[in-house]
Structure 1
Amino acid sequence: MNRIVEKLNEDKKLLSIYFTAGYPNIDDTVVTIKNLETNGVDMIEIGLPFSDPLADGPTIQDSSTAALKNGMTTEVLFTQLEGIRETVSIPLIIMGYFNPMFQYGMEAFCKKCKELGIDGLIIPDLPVDVYHNEYQAIFEKYGLINVFLITPQTSDERIRYIDSISNGFIYMVSSASTTGAKSGFGDEQTAYFERIGNMGLKNPQVIGFGISNNETFTQATKYAKGAIIGSAFVKHVTKHGVKSINGFVDSIIK
């Protein structure tokens, strides 16, 4: 069974953390992954830096730019992840944009992910119908879960289509904006969370965008299986470095 599915079956609310590979320093990738698992994180999204990350807010955009300047590439990331499964057991997901994966070769990329022990991919700019028609068979061949994003503007019809071809979780974007920490969720977002929760989807939802502290984590997981924190964590390691991860995680799941 895929590690993502195993984790989703656990009787707990899940905390997933996004970080940018090769940031703040090129060699911080594996240290970050190990520290996150040690401190109780349930899943990790490894951000593959891209020069034009359209779905990301300024914090993650800046970290991607810095990581690229540090020398991070697809090949460097894959080299860093060699042997990661000797020490890390929680689900690992690569989040990146389609162009670098396409340039690498989509089947070659998926094959390498399987060899390294990657469990899934999040590709914000890969249309669901293109995935379904052209790439789903490749993902399934290598045992990878493709995680789709939905927003408050996604139609019920589209959500049900995404649900029908998904086999992990649905990434529920809390708002139509780019990524970034928010102070809390308003009535409009709460109504959206409730609407999706009442649809009876077969795949659990994990909420991302705007989760930054214990309050927003608690709010989000009232309506979903888990929550994803990205920008707030990137800000933390920018300021404090990757050796201070325990304090950040403790503040979320205290």
Structure 2
Amino acid sequence: MANQTTTRGTDRIKGALGKEGPLLSIYFTAGYPALEDTLPVLRRLQESGVDMIEIGLPFSDPLADGPTIQESSTAALKNGMTTARLFEQLKGVRREIHVPLILMGYFNPVLQYGVEAFCKQCAETGIDGLILPDLPLEIYQREYREILERYGLKMIFLITPQTSQARIRQIDDASDAFIYMVSSASTTGAREGFDPAQQEYFRRIAAMDLKNPRIVGFGISNAHTFGQATAHAKGAIIGSAFIRELSAHGVAAIPSFIKKIRP
């Protein structure tokens, strides 16, 4: 089972990264706005032509998240979302969802669930990768890399404008999918545009000629910021702006939101 999942998962991520044009990834919080909205959101995003989807695992203390994502996480937990419930919702998801799916969250819920049990469930569900911002590279490599690789899961690491070149090279060497390029050192949240310093950061990392493509996250909210982010990177991730749209207009508004970003 794990070997089959490895092949499919690798193909899905590499397939998305290999497409012409900028890649659009959307982040949303599982179990939000309503507990059973996880699958309807996935369906609408795929129908709308997004290239990759990040499913946020709600956590009670999401330190790196801005207020919009924090509020959605709190609401999802109140709705009754748990790690076990998410895996139940995603059972059989690969019969209809074919884009890469990445779980993003904090390491504590994974540890509580049991790292191997969590990875096994991911493999059986068809999850392609994990983003766990609070799991340090060294601890991952020493204690968990073998488990993730056994179940065909890609670990995605973050870099910021403050990350040293040496550290970026380490992360690039340890990665085999893409690098999550955080646009600023602040928490997540939508912005109207990137300032010259952020754009210089995008150019600086592009000039490093890393082996892994970069996908920019934090601060992408519209077609303008999507274009700025993807001028020097393979793709961009939209989270807070998408969740605000869900909050205001519900699942039915997803296609029109995506069209505004990438007509």
Normalising by the smaller structure, the TM-score range is over 0.9
Among 8, 11, 24, which residue is 2:17 paired with?
Answer: 8
Query: Which residue in 2 is equivalent to 1:215?
Result: 224
| Aligned equivalents of 1:189, 1:82: Cα separation in 2 | 40
Query: Which residue in 2 is equivalent to 1:133?
Result: 142
| Aligned equivalents of 1:242, 1:129: Cα separation in 2 | 39
Among 98, 105, 110, which residue is 1:89 paired with?
Answer: 98
Among 77, 94, 109, which residue is 2:86 paired with?
Answer: 77
Equivalent position amino acid for 1:138 in 2 = I
Query: Which residue in 2 is equivalent to 1:182?
Result: 191
Residue 39 (structure 1) aligned with residue 16 (structure 2) = no
Equivalent position amino acid for 1:37 in 2 = Q
Cα shift at 1:244: 1.1
> Structure 1: any 5+ residue segments left out of the alignment?
none
| Aligned equivalents of 1:207, 1:39: Cα separation in 2 | 20
Q: Which residues of 2 match residues 232-247 of structure 1 at below 5 A?
A: 232-247=241-256
TM-score (norm 2): 0.96
Query: Which residue in 2 is equivalent to 1:252?
Result: 261
Deviations 1:103-160 (A, max 9, x none): 1110110111000000000001000111111111111101100000100000111100
| Aligned equivalents of 1:175, 1:166: Cα separation in 2 | 21
Cα shift at 1:12: 2.1
Deviations 1:75-128 (A, max 9, x none): 000000001000010000000100000011101101110000000000010001
1:27 aligns to what SS in structure 2? helix
Cα shift at 1:6: 1.9
Q: Which residues of 2 match residues 61-210 of structure 1 at below 5 A?
A: 61-210=70-219
Cα shift at 1:7: 1.1
2:35 aligns to what SS in structure 1? coil
> Structure 2: any 5+ residue segments left out of the alignment?
1-6
Deviations 1:181-218 (A, max 9, x none): 00101110011001100001000000000000000001
Query: Which residue in 1 is equivalent to 2:32?
Result: 23
Cα shift at 1:16: 0.2
Identity %: 63
The count of residues paired between Structure 1 and Structure 2 equals 254
| Aligned equivalents of 2:18, 2:261: Cα separation in 1 | 21
